[in-house]
Chains A and B, each alone.
Chain A
Amino acid sequence: MMAKYGASLLCLSACLSTSLAQAESIALKTLGNLELSYVQPQKVASYEGSALPALVDRLPGNDYWVSTPENIQQVTFLVGQGQIVTKGQAIVRLTGPEVFHFLAQVDAANSLYLLAKKRYERNKPLLRNGSISTEKWREISQDYFSSHLEYEHMQHFMEMVLSTDEITESLVVSSPVAGIVKLNQLNTPYMADSQLFSLVPAESIRVKVNVPMSQSTSLSAINIDQCHIAIESISAIADGAFVSAWSMPVPQECNLLLGQQATVIPEYQKTVYLLPKNSVFSWQQESQVFTQTAETLTAINIDILGSTPRQYIVASDQDLSKTQVLSQSVAAVKGILLGLGGE
């Protein structure tokens, strides 16, 4: 029988090559007693695609950084890594003689600033009436602005200081904003300007997913476990055949952790059709279905985008929503195309 198939296949390869350019059609009356049943493809506006790897990441540029103003001997973090903190919550205690020096520097900067300000205010009328030279005024002004900057710089840090303790020579730094704290835990000493911690605002925590370019434009959301998150932006710059997409802020109830690698199910916004898996067959390297038109079955190409356990998600150039697609005995009908049948 295989031999018979072979002969028929050769015949087909020779004589069907032309006819295959157009759609294959089979008259219903030639299908004998084959049980035939049809389905109307279900039209849906979106569909779920194949799982994609994703990363819970922060939108670049949204982090808030806090650095130490001095070399610090002892740094004690008062919260856990990745903890969500509120504005003003104690984050770290800095301890050591440098803390005392720093506080003294703050006081000194304050005094210097006030002094420079007073001098600046006093000499301003004198400049107007020409009592002092322009050269002298520039010197006074320069002194005033530099001390102001120095003071403000320290004052900004001091705004985050919750408390100081002269006895233990320590101070406690609080969170300037709400967000997820990312502690910079070093095994080496914290030198001046070393980052102590950063804060990631909750709204900048997103899911970053690389999506095939062909499907990127229709990506509308992602599903991860029971969590549905809409896509906010899709990069216009490709990385190979993929582009990055960023989700909307991750809702807290999703329990996703920053840096977590996950697989997500993408949801694409595209009009597609759901078809039973047993209605699809392969023909000349294409996926096809048989549609019923009057008294014939006509094979048409479809594009399988994804699947569920029982159905395919397919796209087609034709509007399938009003067609009847063969869902039973498909393999037997394909057998007819191959020239099978009989003894």
Chain B
Amino acid sequence: MLTSVIRFSLTQRLFVLIVAMILMLAGARAWFVIPLDAFPDISPTQVKIILKAPGMTPEEIEAQITVPIETELLGIPNQAILRSTTKYAISDITLDFTEGTDIYWARQQVSERLAAVWDSFPESVSGGVAPMSTPLSEIFMFSLENPNLSLMERRQLLEWEIRPLLRTVAGVADVNILGGHAKSFNINPNPAAMAAAGVSFAALQQAIIDNNHNEGAGKLTIGTDTIIVRAEGRIDDIDELGQLVIKADDAKVYRLSDLADIQIGHLTRYGAVTKDGEETAEALIIALKNANTAQVVTNIKEKLEQISATLPEGSVINTFYDRANLINTAINTISSALFQAVLLVIVLLALFLGNVRAALVVSLSLPLAALMTFLMMDLFNLSANLMSLGGLVIAIGMLVDSSVVVVENMVNLIASKPRLPRLHLIFRATKDVAVPVVSGTIIVMIVFSPLLTLTGLEGKLFTPVAVTIVFAMLSALILSLTVIPVIASYLVNEKAAQEPKAIIKLKAAYLGSLKTAFNHKKPFMLITFGLLIVSLGLFSLVGKTFMPTLDEGDIILQLEKSPSISLDASIAIDKQIQQTLLAKVPEIKQMVARTGADEMGLDPMGLNETDVFLELVPRDEWRFDDKGQLIEAIRNELLNYPGVNFNFTQPIQMRVSEMLTGSIGDVAIKVFGTDIDTLGQLTAQIEQLVSATRGSIDVKMSMIEGSPFINLTLDNELARGFGMSTMEFARYLKSQLEGVMVTEILQGKKRTPVLIANNQSSLSSINELQNQLLVMPDHSLKRLTDVAKLSYKEGPILIEREQGDRFSVITTNVQERDIVSFVEELNTKIAQQIQLPSGYSVSFGGEFENQQRATNNLLLVIPIAIALITLILFTTFGSLAKAGLILANVPFAMMGGIVSLYLSGEYLSVPASVGFIALLGVAVLNGVVMVSYYEQTKHLFSDLLVRVEQGAARRLRPILMTATTAMFGLMPLVFASGPGAEIQKPLAIVVIGGLLTSTITTLYLLPILYYWLEKRR
């Protein structure tokens, strides 16, 4: 079949060129339409439910909201994990589905189940299924600056003018508004007036709800006309609200303004935003899952430009996070690496082939294969990002291999038989190497197939790499057997077939050294195997990590303060820190900080938590060489602020951490159980065991208890005498502290909530709370302390659950020992020293879990891949021994990888492991090139040694070409410093190191081993 394909290509050259041209154009078009993002979508099919329950404690929310929802959700098929976090006023439930589950189906299932239990929730609960977003969805953030506008006006502008317009942009899932004051109309009841009027709190609330309505009444036919009739009662403004009649009897009419003070106020604040220490309001734009991020950002910017013209004078849209910057930087990093790789490869080809025409033919395979890859990426909905384009960079060196082998054989054949027709020689040359080229490429594709089995974060990151490499290699293979011979038929001539003098000299030198190796086989073998053993020793010295941290270019500073801190106090500390950093660290251009929770509850932080976005000046203005030094400088300043915990992260990294189980550390020990106190005790005991286990560092445990509560218990016997129920009492309390939303006033497109709320400043101590006046249902006036008892209680700050069970977690990093033995030792200690009560269990997770998962996957799939490679090699050479001979090159390739990792100081990580997998293919490919030639030239040389030596010399150029193109193709990644480089760097280092050693062993060890093998026969 291969022969037919080659023959058809060379007989229908014009047709092939036209088809190639069409494919190239389609590939170029694909490049412009494929979604562009910084990273691949790393989220599973995930549906989040976020419910807000103002005023409710974690335990109450868990009992009344979280557990009923979890129970309902547990029945949904295809679910991978169900987990929840319950905090004050917020329930955040996340359901991950198995890979491949349709997100729309999943959302529908969750929505249906949620609707089924909704009626059982307390009346104040709001929220629902969160927007269809991923951890990468927060793509654009800006604050609205205008010194002439109050925080409330800025918030109103963002909420009612800017947000609706931005939501019309295709790909925008939602726009989250944070900070400022959310305007409300606050009704502050006057208990004495209400008691005198005989109006209870419930009656007041109901009267407002009932009267703020316009109701359609039907139609009235008057003669020949039909006119719509409606009952009008909707309140339009605060004055009308004041005039609302609450009670009227024979002689008296009580209006709302008679019974309460009505003021413009704001909703209870769950968070705030500060810019450079001053409060402001911001918008956070969330993109839809699978949206073309780069395009969405461009459209957002265009829309914001239009909006800016309509904003009040002096308004400035201050962008402090723009994903396009990361995308551009990342794509630039990788494009630059790609460009440099292509350039290096072309130079190498020109040097090795010694002819521009031949080099051009081979080099043409690079852009053509790349364009075909883009076409396939578009067809298979693969986005262009750091990882997928990184895959292309990794493949660059290998892309030319097929064409190198074909063209190299072509020029050799033309040089050896100049009298035969060139087209015929090209056909023969291509046909001769078609089988090894195809088998070699299939081997490389099989080598990368284990990556497709990776799951979790590593799977999401490296599947695009593997898929792109497969696409690129397939493209290169097709091109090498079709288009390349056609182009070669036009460009390659006898002159091109002449071997460069440098190569001739190199061959001579190689032949001499090979003879020396043959003459000293044993010492050579001893040294080689000795080095292999040394490298195995080095392996234990190489540091290990799961995944290098991706540099997003941005810094987020996370601050954590005393858990019971008020919003104002929290902001005050933030301001101090921000102003200091701005003054002391000139690399910081501006700082926008988010304290507390956002409005949607997508990020349910406490008032004590702050995420500070640091916008940095361009790198050429830095005093430091890298981000690490800058972070160190910031860290040194922050250490001067005791009493505040801090941490550094990045926008996407932060969201990814939240998306995962939240257990950041090498090992996470989760304790499952029911009782909070027992969980707390067990966690503390296990934490001590972890700390005492050798190798543990950074031991942390989650806090699940210790939040102070004030309990107000209604004195039922007394309260019932006045007709007061617990429910009414709770509602009243809520109105005094949180505010109870009773209705909304519509003013154009603005919806302003109407709250029954106390003036917050009048209630700021226990004493004042106890003396707060209540209008009892029988209209008598009592103090709170008359009918309720006050007590203090400690309760959980947050409740985390997984698969319907509460859990607490201890995390630790492991140093100077392997994680598996650490976990085994710890597991034994826990089993021996801790008596777990019935219903309590312990499980291990964290990066250990990820590593175990990845290792198990690879341990299962790599042997299968090796078996397949062996099968292909056996099919190609018809000998298991020769297949084994080629595979023998693999350990020496690994040796180079390990040594290079050790020397470079890089850690053994998932990308480094991927590098070792890649080495497997490249090392085998070199062996195939060498051994296939030996096999082909059996009939040419009668003397085995001569055949082996001449064959090796003959194959020096293609082997050096494939090896050096692969090495130099990856070289730009080693020296790249932009975002994404850190994840590709270990991979490139391993492959380059491995190629170096495997090339040497292919050129020296393989001929010797082949000689031994053949001689034995």
Interface residues of B in 189-234 (CB under 8 A from A): 190-192, 195-196
Expressed in whole angstroms, the Cα–Cα distance for A335 and B560 within the complex equals 9
**A321: CB under 8 A from chain B?**
no
Q: Shortest CB–CB separation between residue A21 and chain B, in angstroms?
A: 18
Q: Are A335 and B642 in touch, CB under 8 angstroms?
A: yes
Q: Are A335 and B562 in contact (CB under 8 A)?
A: yes
A33 to chain B: closest residue by CB: B640
**Which residue on chain B has the smallest CB distance to residue A260?**
B196
Q: Decide yes or no: A285 and B702 within 8 Å by CB, A32-B642, A332-B641 being known contacts.
A: no
User: Of B639, B645, B761, B773, which contacts A1 at CB under 8 A?
Assistant: B645
Among A240, A285, A309, which residue has its beta carbon within 8 angstroms of that of B786?
A: A240
Contact A341 B642 (CB under 8 A): yes
Contacts of B196 in A (CB 8 A): 260-261
- Contact yes or no, A7 B767, CB < 8 A: no
B643 contacts A278, CB within 8 Å? Answer: no
Most buried by A among B708, B771, B811: B771
A30/B642 contact (C-beta < 8 A), A3-B702, A7-B701, A331-B572 known: yes
Select which of A32, A241, A328, A340 is within 8 A of B561 by beta carbon. A340
Q: Decide yes or no whether B778 CB sits under 8 A from chain A.
A: no
Nearest CB in chain B to that of A11: its residue: B684
**Alpha-carbon distance between A262 and B195 when the two chains are bound, in angstroms:** 10
Q: Which of A30, A53, A285, A338 has the most CB of B within 10 A?
A: A53
Bitwise interface map of B from 174 to 192 toward A, beta carbon under 8 Å scored 1, else 0: 0000000000000000111
Q: In chain B, what residue has the closest Cβ to A328?
A: B572
CB closest residue in chain B, given A314: B765
Contact call B785/A4, Cβ cutoff below 8 A = no
User: Interface code B629-644, partner A: CB below 8 Å = 1, 0 otherwise?
Assistant: 0000001011111111
User: Contact mask A304-343 → B, CB, 8 Å, 1/0?
Assistant: 1111010010000000000000001111111110101111
- Cα–Cα, bound, A307→B810 (Å): 43
Interface status of B563 (Cβ within 8 A of chain A):
yes
Partner of B570, one of A50, A212, A261, A331: A331
Nearest CB on B from A93, distance (A): 25
Residues 1-35 of chain A, each 1 if its beta carbon lies under 8 Å from chain B, else 0: 11111110110010000000000000000111111
User: Does residue A263 face the partner (Cβ distance < 8 Å to B)?
Assistant: yes
Using CB atoms, name the residue of chain A closest to B643: A335
A5 in contact with B560 (CB, 8 Å): yes
A340 near B771: Cβ-Cβ < 8 Å: no
Cβ-neighbour of A331 out of B561, B637, B638, B680 (below 8 A): B561
Interface size on B, residues (CB 8 A): 64
Asked if B564 is at the interface (CB within 8 A of a chain A CB), the reply is yes
Known: A30-B642, A50-B771, A307-B765. A263 touches B192 (CB 8 A): yes
Q: Which of B844-896 contact A (CB under 8 A)?
A: none
Contact A9 B564 (CB under 8 A): no
Min CB distance A314 to B, Å, is 9
Instruction: Contacts A34-B642, A34-B643 given; indicate if A9 touches B771 (C-beta within 8 A).
Output: no
- Contact with A336, one of B558, B643, B765, B809 (Cβ below 8 angstroms): B643
Q: Are B642 and A1 in contact (CB under 8 A)?
A: no
Residue B772 CB within 8 A of the other chain: yes
On whether the beta carbons of A50 and B768 are closer than 8 Å, the reply is yes
| Interfacial chain A residues near B281, Cβ < 8 Å | none
B745-804 interface (Cβ within 8 A of A): 761-762, 764-768, 771-773, 781, 783, 785-786, 792, 797-798
Per-residue 0/1 for A216-238: is the Cβ within 8 Å of any B Cβ (1 yes, 0 no)?
00000000000000000000000
Complex Cα spacing A137 to B346, Å: 155
Q: Of B638, B644, B648, which is in contact with the most chain A CB atoms at under 10 Å from its CB?
A: B644
Distance, CA A2 to CA B810, complexed state (A): 11
Q: Which of B191, B558, B576 contacts A329 (CB 8 A)?
A: B576
Flag whether B565 is at the interface (Cβ < 8 A): yes
Taken together as a complex, chains A and B put the C-alpha atoms of A97 and B705 apart, in Å, by 86
With A50-B772, A307-B768 known to touch, is A343 a contact of B645 (CB < 8 Å)? yes
Residues of B contacting A307 in the complex (Cβ-Cβ under 8 angstroms): 761-762, 764-765, 768
Chain A residues near B811 (CB-CB < 8 A): 3
Contact with B along A276-287 (1 / 0, CB 8 A): 011000100101
* Shortest beta-carbon distance from A327 to chain B in Å: 11
B428 within 8 A of A: no
**Contact between chains at A343 and B646 (CB < 8 Å):** yes
CB of A4 within 8 A of CB of B561, answer: no
Task: Determine the distance from Cα of A304 to Cα of B645 in the docked complex, in whole angstroms.
Answer: 30
Inter-chain CA distance A240–B573, complex, in Å, is 45
Q: Can you name the residue of chain B whose Cβ is closest to the Cβ of A284?
A: B708
Partner of B195, one of A5, A13, A261: A261
Closest to A278 in B: B569
Give the distance to chain A from B677, nearest Cβ to Cβ, in Å: 12
Q: How far is the CA of A52 from the CA of B564 in the complex (A)?
A: 30
> A212 CA to B648 CA in the complex, in Å?
52
Q: Point out the residues of chain B lying under 8 angstroms from A332, CB to CB.
A: 561-562, 573, 641-644
A59 at the interface (CB under 8 A from B): no
User: Is the CB of A249 closer than 8 A to any CB of chain B?
Assistant: no
CB distance from B585 to the nearest CB of A (A): 13
A241-B783 Cα distance, complex, nearest whole Å: 11
Whether a CB of chain A sits under 8 angstroms from the CB of B661 is no
Given known pairs A261-B196, A263-B191, A263-B192, the reply for A6 and B701 (CB within 8 Å) is yes
Closest partner residue, chain B, to A331 (CB atom)? B569
Bound form: Cα–Cα A13–B766 in Å: 24
Q: Which of A6, A31, A241, A307 has the most CB of B within 10 A?
A: A6
Flag if B576 contacts A278 (CB, 8 Å): no
B308 adjacent to chain A (CB < 8 Å) = no
Cα distance, A34 to B637, chains bound together (Å): 11
CA distance A269 to B783 in the complex (A): 22
Q: Which residue of chain B lies nearest to A34 when distances are taken between CB atoms in the complex? A: B641
User: How close is B743's CB to chain A, nearest CB, in angstroms?
Assistant: 26
Whether B785 and A241, one on each chain, are in contact in the complex, defined by CB atoms closer than 8 angstroms, is: yes
- CB contact between A333 and one of B572, B643, B648, B768 (< 8 Å): that residue: B643
In the assembled complex, the Cα of A336 lies from the Cα of B680 at a distance in Å of 22
B99 contacts partner chain A, Cβ-Cβ < 8 Å = no
Residues of B within 8 A of A305 (CB): 765, 767
Q: Give, as a whole number of angstroms, the nearest-CB distance from A185 to chain B.
A: 14
Task: Report the separation of the CA atoms of residues A261 and B644 in the bound assembly, to the nearest whole angstrom.
Answer: 50
Least CB distance, A285 to chain B, in whole angstroms: 5
In the complex, the chain A residue whose C-beta lies closest to that of B648 is: A343
Cβ of A84 < 8 Å from any Cβ of B? no
Q: Which residues of B contact A287 (CB under 8 A)?
A: 765-766
* Residues of B close to A6: CB separation below 8 A: 700-704, 706
Q: Which of B964-994 contact A (CB under 8 A)?
A: none
Given contacts A307-B765, A341-B645, A343-B635, contact A10 B564 (CB under 8 A): no
- For window 41-60 of A, CB contacts with B under 8 Å fall at 49-53
Let me know if B932 is at the binding interface, CB within 8 A.
no
CB of B609, distance to nearest CB on chain A (Å): 8
Q: Are B561 and A335 in contact (CB under 8 A)?
A: yes
B:680-729 near A, CB below 8 Å = 680, 684, 687, 699-704, 706, 708
Chain B residue nearest to A277 in the complex (CB) = B764
In the complex, the answer to whether B703 meets A5 with C-beta atoms within 8 Å is yes
Q: B647 an interface residue at 8 Å Cβ cutoff?
A: yes
Establish whether residues B642 and A309, one from each chain, have CB atoms under 8 Å apart when the complex forms.
no
> Which among A2, A3, A261, A331 has the greatest number of chain B C-beta atoms within 10 A?
A3
A-B contact pairs, 21 of them (CB 8 A): A1-B645, A2-B797, A3-B700, A3-B701, A3-B703, A32-B642, A35-B576, A53-B773, A241-B785, A261-B781, A285-B708, A306-B767, A307-B762, A328-B572, A330-B569, A331-B643, A332-B643, A334-B643, A335-B561, A343-B638, A343-B648
Chain B residues proximal to chain A, CB less than 8 Å = 190-192, 195-196, 558, 560-566, 568-570, 572-573, 576, 580, 635, 637-648, 680, 684, 687, 699-704, 706, 708, 761-762, 764-768, 771-773, 781, 783, 785-786, 792, 797-798, 809-811
Known interface pairs A51-B771, A261-B195, A331-B569; 18 further A-B residue pairs with C-beta atoms within 8 A, sorted by A's residue number = A1-B560, A3-B700, A3-B703, A7-B699, A10-B684, A30-B642, A34-B642, A278-B572, A282-B564, A304-B766, A306-B768, A312-B765, A331-B565, A331-B566, A334-B643, A335-B642, A338-B563, A340-B560
